[in-house]
Amino acid sequence: MENLIAANIRSRPTRTFISILAVALGVTLMLVIGGITNGWLNEYLGRTIAVGADFIFQPPGSSVFYAFSDAELPIKLANKLQEVPGISAVTPVLSKFSMAQFGLIFGIDLESYSKFPGRLHIISGKPSLKDDEVIVDQLYAETKKLSPGMPLTILNHNFTVTAICRPGSVVRVFAPLKTLQKLIGTPDRVTIMFMKAEPKSNVDAVFHELRRRFPDNSIIQASDPNLLLADTRLPGLKEFRITLIIVSMLLSFMVILLAMYTTIFERTREIGILKSLGASRRFIVGMILKESAIICCLGALLGIGISEIARKIIVTKFPTQPVAIGLNDLILGLILGLLAGTMGAIYPAYKAARMDPVRALTYE
Partner 1 sequence: MVESSSSCAIETINLNMTYRSGKVDVPALQNVNVSVERGEFVAVVGPSGCGKSTLLHLLGGLMQPTGGSVILDGIDISKLTDSERTAIRRKKIGYVFQRFNLLPTLSAKGNIELAKKIQGNGYLSPNGVDQILDMLGLANKINFRPAELSGGEQQRVAIARAVINRPAIILADEPTGSLDSRNSRIVLQVLRDLNEKLSQTIVMITHDPEAASTANRVIEMKDGQIIDAPSVLYCEPDFENSVGNP
**Interaction site with partner 1 (CB under 8 A):** 1, 3-4, 7-8, 10-11, 269-270, 272-281, 283, 286, 357-358, 361
Give the residue with the Cβ less far from partner 1, 169 or 263.
263
Integer-rounded Cα radius of gyration of the chain: 29
Measured at the alpha carbon of residue 25, what is the angle toward residues 22 and 30, in degrees to the nearest 5?
A: 135
Minimum separation from the CB atom of position 312 to partner 1 (A): 38
Give the residue with the Cβ less far from partner 1, 215 or 278.
278
**In one letter, which amino acid is 232?**
T
How many other C-beta atoms lie within 10 A of the C-beta of residue 278? Answer: 7
Minimum separation from the CB atom of position 361 to partner 1 (A): 7
State phi, psi for 107 to the nearest 5 degrees. Answer: -95, 115
Give the residue with the Cβ less far from partner 1, 96 or 267.
267
Residues 122/164, Cβ–Cβ less than 8 Å: yes
Minimum separation from the CB atom of position 273 to partner 1 (A): 5
Minimum separation from the CB atom of position 264 to partner 1 (A): 15
Give the residue with the Cβ less far from partner 1, 211 or 269.
269
Give the residue with the Cβ less far from partner 1, 84 or 361.
361
Say which residues have a Cβ less than 8 Å from residue 65's Cβ, sequence separation at least 6.
44, 234
First to last CA, the chain: 25
Give the residue with the Cβ less far from partner 1, 130 or 269.
269
Residue closest to 341 by CA, chosen among 111, 23, 33: 23
Give the residue with the Cβ less far from partner 1, 124 or 362.
362
Minimum separation from the CB atom of position 230 to partner 1 (A): 51
Measured at the alpha carbon of residue 121, what is the angle toward residues 117 and 127, in degrees to the nearest 5?
A: 115
Give the residue with the Cβ less far from partner 1, 103 or 286.
286
Residue closest to 298 by CA, chosen among 326, 263, 259: 259
Q: For the chain, what's the residue count?
A: 364
Q: With helix as H, strand as E and coil as C, how does 147-193 read?
A: CCCCEEEECCEEEEEEEEECCCCCCCEEEEHHHHHHHHCCCCEECEE
Say which residues have a Cβ less than 8 Å from residue 244's Cβ, sequence separation at least 6.
29, 30, 33, 34, 37
Minimum separation from the CB atom of position 259 to partner 1 (A): 16
CA-CA distance, 272 to 264, in Å (whole number)?
A: 11
Give the residue with the Cβ less far from partner 1, 220 or 274.
274
Minimum separation from the CB atom of position 102 to partner 1 (A): 52
Minimum separation from the CB atom of position 281 to partner 1 (A): 7
Say which residues have a Cβ less than 8 Å from residue 24's Cβ, sequence separation at least 6.
299, 300, 302, 303, 306
Strands 173-176 and 133-137: antiparallel
**In one letter, which amino acid is 161?**
V
Say which residues have a Cβ less than 8 Å from residue 265's Cβ, sequence separation at least 6.
none
Minimum separation from the CB atom of position 355 to partner 1 (A): 11
